[in-house]
Chain A
Amino acid sequence: MDVQHPFSDTEEALPDPLEMPALCPGAMAESKPYKATDKMQEALGYPGELVENWKEVAIDKLGELLGKYRSLKVYLDSCVKCGACTDKCHYFLGTGDPKNMPVARQDLLRKVYRRHFTFAGKYAPWLVGAQDLTEEVLDDWYSYFHQCSQCRRCSVYCPYGIDTAEISMAAREIMDTIGVGQKYCNEIIGKVFTVGNNLGLPPKALKATLEDLEEEMEEETGLPIRMPLDEKGADILLVTPSADFFASPHMEGLMGYAKVFHASGISWTLSSHASEAANFGMFIGSYETMREVSLRIRKAAEDLGVKRIVIGECGHAWRVAYSFMNTLAGPFDFLDPNYPVPQHICEFTWDLIEKGELKFDKSLNDHMRLTFHDSCNVARASRMGDKPGGQFEIPRNIIKATCNHFYDMADDTIREKTFCCGGGGGLLSDEIMDIRKKGAQPRMRALAEVQENHGVTHMAAICAICKAQFSKVLPEYGFDREAIVSVHQLVSNAIILEGANGGDADDDDDDDNDE
């Protein structure tokens, strides 16, 4: 099976993905994303600038959240500072900044909690490390709560399941409430409210894009493979991240979904009202925003009269859809009860593969030797299929059904122990490229290992953020920027469609497909 790789004889060992850095206090203190403008803030109902009595407002908000979220309350109380999480965050491994250790990140909020809400912190702050909320503390909050991608890797290892994501969501909500929001997230949420998607792509432009893609697929296959928009009475509403409409390798994935739907014969449609699967309300910790964005999907499903909802390849979108949508926008009793609401596109495709309804020519992916990056929110905050862990098996099964060469990365870097790509949780913004690049380091090292040991050339993923992030950082680590592919891109390459041009899949098409 293994091909001799040109570098496999080199003496120098590759660096360990989990290698412990030396502590570098303050290394990333100046890594701050751009702040939201007053207009972006106000569009979400937050103050446009730092309010005058911000300390009181912040403490009040913290008090409110403590009453609304058991996770926050229990997690701020329960930490024993055992150190189990200290070496688990990809941003810590990549930077060595001790405030990127999950417990230290939590402590930025915990010390204020202790000062204001606990007996010991009120009367003996020095004893328990309690601290007043000051400008310096707020400054640290802004830097370091925007260096958490809410990937939950720390929560896997904590003996009490403390999830730093819950803490950073609360901290971001508090900061929004006092007028200190982050531009990237808040601007994008504003676009979803006004236009319907993160990109601000209006329906007309969306329609034109889809028509272009239809043409492209017709040229390639000779078949009228459709990408319907706003078609009432379709069986399935597909909600996918808007990156699928314009970026690469996302679009190649979208064409894969369309081909699967085509082969299945089941009617489907996209919606211009809910032309976005991503839900950045989660990143800023706002239940209300998350709910409003989710209700757009419900409304689209009702207006179009569909029977099922399927979600495209997107990590945190799948978390919100799988774990929260029933809560936020349910009950979905107007949909077909024979199918889970929502369904992941991978569940949909794998189901058809298991029934033998899809046929593939795996050799059409032979120019690639693949590995799979488990996207953090899919891995640790959702499921696919009936069994726990289906979120790991189903995408791998699809890859194995469509490709001849698949190799997993090291065990402690995949499945529930997977790393964030480095750009999740609202960090996919160019002004913080430094932390994004450093946060990707563990994954890049794990990739280098399978490149060396198995000649792996490409890494597949099922998340728009992972795909965008890797396209940017792969070259920084000496890989080809196109080494990141969509899982449904592999499906698209290998699927045999009845009546297609040279339905026997002649090899000439191969290079074109790969473009």
Chain B
Amino acid sequence: MLTMAYALLFYVATLVLVAGLGYRIWQYAATPAPLKIPTTPAPVTRSGVVVRMAREVLVFESLFKSNKWIWAFGFLFHAALAVVLLRHFRYFQQPVWTVIALVQPFGVYAGFAMVAGLVGLWVRRIIVPRVRYISAPSDHLMLLLLVLIGASGLAMKFVAHTDIVAVKAFFLGLMRFDIQPLPADAPLLIHLGLVALLMIIFPFSKLLHAPGVFFSPTRNQVDNPRERRHLAKWAARLETGRVDKA
């Protein structure tokens, strides 16, 4: 019963995440950017833009310019999250890739680093008056959700061990539509339930910053408006009425 409920939950969560995110990305891609608005100085070539975007996404360049504390906590959280996600790949593959096997020992430390980064961000959100002012309940709840996911995950490693072989069998089974029993341990059920919740709210929340940054015209446009005419479809329609003088 429990196994079936969680299996269903993960199917639904995956569907919502993929479809919801896909829809958002399609929306962003389909909405025109009628004017050239890169924040300058900006790269003058496409490859330059790729480098700018890479710096933005991998090392949070603009955030670094802005505020070293937010950058430190934010970077710590995101980098640790990336390692933790890589570590979790092993639950979805058999045999396990060498890279994933190598990442395993670091993943544990990353779990702590991730929670530390989140706590840092949360403390700022509470004690810095400017940031407190702009925070809605959802901003606090999102941090709570992520902290609980991290803490419940760490609890399975350091407090009450879960039968991870069975967990892996469950997920490999899910991927083959062959449902295997899920251990009924509290930390595991909490962890998985919250992860599914996160997947479901992803396309409806500020987590959209993840795909959003790639579509940000101030960051992804080439600075070449004089060399190349940039014209959106709806703007081109305005021109049909134009009387060009010879």
The answer to whether A159 and B63 have CB atoms under 8 Å apart is: yes
The residue from A84, A291, A341 contacting B66, defined by CB atoms under 8 A apart: A84
The answer to whether B41 and A160 have CB atoms under 8 Å apart is: no
- Say if the beta carbon of A299 comes within 8 Å of chain B: yes
The residue from A303, A324, A388 contacting B42, defined by CB atoms under 8 A apart: A388
Residue from A85, A159, A391 having most chain B Cβ neighbours under 10 A = A159
The answer to whether B131 and A70 have CB atoms under 8 Å apart is: no
- Say if the beta carbon of B176 comes within 8 Å of chain A: no
The residue from B62, B134, B234 contacting A68, defined by CB atoms under 8 A apart: B234
Contacting residues, chain B, for A79 (C-beta < 8 A): 206, 209
- Say if the beta carbon of A73 comes within 8 Å of chain B: yes
- Say if the beta carbon of B106 comes within 8 Å of chain A: no
- Say if the beta carbon of A389 comes within 8 Å of chain B: yes
- Say if the beta carbon of B165 comes within 8 Å of chain A: no
Of A149-157, A256-264, A361-369, A506-514, which binds chain B? A149-157
The answer to whether A103 and B213 have CB atoms under 8 Å apart is: no
Task: State the Cβ distance, A98 to closest chain B Cβ, in Å.
Answer: 5
Given contacts A327-B231, A388-B41, contact A83 B139 (CB under 8 A): no
- Say if the beta carbon of B141 comes within 8 Å of chain A: yes
The residue from A75, A291, A322 contacting B225, defined by CB atoms under 8 A apart: A322
The residue from B34, B136, B215, B242 contacting A295, defined by CB atoms under 8 A apart: B242
**For chain A, which range describes its interface: under 10, 10 to 19, 20 to 34, or 35 or more residues?**
35 or more
Q: What residue of chain B has the Cβ atom nearest to residue A92's Cβ?
A: B130
Of A374-382, A445-453, A468-476, which binds chain B? A374-382
Residue from B34, B36, B39, B125 having most chain A Cβ neighbours under 10 A = B39
- Say if the beta carbon of A326 comes within 8 Å of chain B: yes
Q: Which of B36-57 contact A (CB under 8 A)?
A: 36-37, 39-44, 56
The answer to whether A84 and B63 have CB atoms under 8 Å apart is: yes
Given contacts A66-B31, A78-B209, A327-B35, contact A287 B235 (CB under 8 A): yes
Of B149-157, B180-188, B216-224, which binds chain A? B216-224
Alpha-carbon distance A192/B48, docked complex (angstroms): 39
Q: What residue of chain B has the Cβ atom nearest to residue A288's Cβ?
A: B238
The residue from B37, B63, B130 contacting A98, defined by CB atoms under 8 A apart: B130
The answer to whether B138 and A128 have CB atoms under 8 Å apart is: yes
- Say if the beta carbon of A71 comes within 8 Å of chain B: yes
- Say if the beta carbon of A485 comes within 8 Å of chain B: no
Alpha-carbon distance A68/B235, docked complex (angstroms): 9
Contact with A along B9-36 (1 / 0, CB 8 A): 0000000000000001001100111111
Alpha-carbon distance A327/B224, docked complex (angstroms): 11
Alpha-carbon distance A112/B128, docked complex (angstroms): 26
The residue from B137, B204, B226 contacting A326, defined by CB atoms under 8 A apart: B226
- Say if the beta carbon of A118 comes within 8 Å of chain B: yes
- Say if the beta carbon of A1 comes within 8 Å of chain B: no
Alpha-carbon distance A326/B225, docked complex (angstroms): 7
The answer to whether A152 and B39 have CB atoms under 8 Å apart is: yes
- Say if the beta carbon of B60 comes within 8 Å of chain A: yes
The answer to whether B139 and A81 have CB atoms under 8 Å apart is: yes
The answer to whether B235 and A327 have CB atoms under 8 Å apart is: yes
- Say if the beta carbon of B93 comes within 8 Å of chain A: no
The answer to whether A163 and B136 have CB atoms under 8 Å apart is: no
The answer to whether A86 and B134 have CB atoms under 8 Å apart is: yes
The answer to whether B131 and A81 have CB atoms under 8 Å apart is: yes
The answer to whether A78 and B130 have CB atoms under 8 Å apart is: no
The answer to whether A323 and B63 have CB atoms under 8 Å apart is: no
The answer to whether B34 and A68 have CB atoms under 8 Å apart is: yes
Given contacts A66-B31, A322-B225, A326-B230, contact A163 B37 (CB under 8 A): yes
Alpha-carbon distance A323/B234, docked complex (angstroms): 18
The answer to whether A327 and B130 have CB atoms under 8 Å apart is: no
Contacting residues, chain A, for B33 (C-beta < 8 A): 69-71
Given contacts A70-B33, A166-B37, A288-B238, contact A155 B218 (CB under 8 A): yes
Alpha-carbon distance A287/B32, docked complex (angstroms): 13
Contacting residues, chain B, for A379 (C-beta < 8 A): 40
- Say if the beta carbon of A205 comes within 8 Å of chain B: no
- Say if the beta carbon of A67 comes within 8 Å of chain B: yes
- Say if the beta carbon of A434 comes within 8 Å of chain B: no
Alpha-carbon distance A387/B48, docked complex (angstroms): 12
Contacting residues, chain B, for A383 (C-beta < 8 A): 40-42, 44, 223
Alpha-carbon distance A196/B218, docked complex (angstroms): 32
Given contacts A78-B216, A331-B229, contact A70 B32 (CB under 8 A): yes
Of A119-127, A350-358, A397-405, which binds chain B? A119-127
The answer to whether B128 and A83 have CB atoms under 8 Å apart is: yes
The answer to whether B63 and A82 have CB atoms under 8 Å apart is: yes
The answer to whether B62 and A78 have CB atoms under 8 Å apart is: no
Contacting residues, chain B, for A331 (C-beta < 8 A): 229
- Say if the beta carbon of A216 comes within 8 Å of chain B: no
Contacting residues, chain B, for A86 (C-beta < 8 A): 130-131, 134
Alpha-carbon distance A379/B38, docked complex (angstroms): 12
Residue from B43, B121, B125, B226 having most chain A Cβ neighbours under 10 A = B226
Q: Which of A13-57 contact B (CB under 8 A)?
A: 23
The answer to whether A98 and B204 have CB atoms under 8 Å apart is: no
Alpha-carbon distance A323/B42, docked complex (angstroms): 12
The answer to whether B62 and A299 have CB atoms under 8 Å apart is: no
- What are the 7 A-B residue pairs with the smallest beta carbon separation, nearest first? A78-B212, A129-B136, A388-B41, A157-B66, A161-B218, A83-B131, A84-B66
Give 5 pairs: A residue, B residue, CB < 8 Å, sorted on A: A84-B62, A103-B134, A160-B212, A323-B225, A381-B39
Given A78-B209, A83-B70, 19 further pairs, Cβ under 8 A: A68-B234, A69-B31, A78-B216, A82-B70, A83-B124, A86-B130, A101-B130, A155-B218, A159-B213, A160-B219, A161-B62, A166-B37, A287-B34, A322-B225, A323-B36, A327-B229, A381-B40, A388-B42, A416-B41
